[in-house]
């Protein structure tokens, strides 16, 4: 299962962050700010939620697509984009990450901001393979995902490889949470040509709790993907 209905309850019942993280802003600035025509650069965010990252991309002039399973999150994202960036380019799509409704080689960059970490290891491998399929040759993937050793790991109920329905920490009550080992990064992103990673750590109550995450950038090979097309028309 690539999307847990618990997220519809979460997005429908509480507010979410309104602004992108500094690391994502850096990734976009470093790789795409010099584009001669920003509207020609197409981003897709996996599990976009209420859209703070899409809002940032749209304000910067890029074409921004988002996919999520939650109608409440998409409604919030659409309302904000239409109000604050009325001439934005792109689309919001309700759907599953396991089967992205876009043709091969569609996007210049994909964003996974801790969305794929809400899936099992096996599903995550398939989702990243789908990400590879819809990226253009030389396209880039930005991943922010929870690392092993993070607060909440090994608490609650086991849910597969390095995954739990956690009972402690900021991920408690948010469905499945998967924590990535360093040696698993290459397995998850096996279809990408170049993968770089670094670790972030936020200490809470020094010596007791810490939030550990991986920042990963992956690049596709220059050869285009040629597979059967699996996509449907998307609506803004």
Domains recognised in the chain with CATH numbers: 6-12+22-146+192-207+215-219 (3.40.50.150)
Q: What are phi and psi of 198, to 5 degrees?
A: -145, 160
Spatial CB neighbours of 7, under 8 Å, sequence gap ≥ 6: 69, 70, 73, 118, 174, 175
Query: 129 is written with which tokens?
Result: 């393979």
Percent of the chain with pLDDT over 70: 86
| pLDDT at residue number 229 | 40
Spatial CB neighbours of 58, under 8 Å, sequence gap ≥ 6: 64, 81, 85, 88, 89, 90
| pLDDT at residue number 4 | 63
Spatial CB neighbours of 91, under 8 Å, sequence gap ≥ 6: 65, 66, 234, 235, 236
> Do residues 56 and 85 lie in contact, with contact meaning Cβ atoms separated by under 8 Å?
no
What pTM value is reported for the model? 0.89
- 18-35 burial, b for 16+ CB within 10 Å, e for fewer? eebbeebeebbeebbeee
Query: 65 is written with which tokens?
Result: 């697509």
Strand partners, 216: 143, 197
| pLDDT at residue number 232 | 41
* Mean of the per-residue pLDDT values of the chain: 90
Low-confidence ranges of the chain (pLDDT < 50): 1, 228-236
């Amino acid at each position: 299962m690539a999307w847990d209905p618990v997220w519809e309850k979460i997005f429908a019942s509480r507010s979410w962050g309104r602004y992108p993280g500094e690391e994502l802003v850096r990734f976009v600035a470093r790789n795409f700010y010099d584009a001669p025509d920003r509207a020609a650069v197409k981003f897709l965010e996996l599990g976009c939620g209420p859209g703070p990252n899409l809002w940032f991309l749209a304000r910067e002039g890029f074409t921004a697509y988002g996919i999520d399973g939650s109608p409440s999150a998409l409604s919030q994202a659409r309302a904000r984009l239409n109000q604050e960036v009325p001439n934005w380019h792109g689309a919001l799509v309700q759907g599953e990450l396991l089967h992205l409704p876009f043709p091969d080689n569609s996007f210049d960059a994909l964003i996974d901001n801790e969305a794929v970490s809400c899936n099992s290891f096996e599903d995550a491998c398939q989702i990243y393979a789908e990400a590879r399929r819809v990226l253009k040759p030389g396209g880039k993937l930005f991943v922010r995902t929870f690392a092993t050793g993070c607060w909440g790991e090994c608490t609650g109920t086991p849910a597969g490889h390095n995954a739990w329905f956690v009972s402690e920490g900021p991920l408690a009550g948010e469905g499945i949470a998967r924590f990535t080992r360093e040696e698993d990064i290459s397995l998850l992103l096996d279809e990408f040509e170049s993968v770089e990673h670094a670790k972030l750590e936020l200490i809470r109550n020094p010596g007791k709790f810490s939030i550990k995450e991986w920042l990963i950038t992956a690049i596709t090979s220059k050869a285009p993907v040629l597979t059967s097309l699996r996509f449907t028309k998307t609506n803004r």
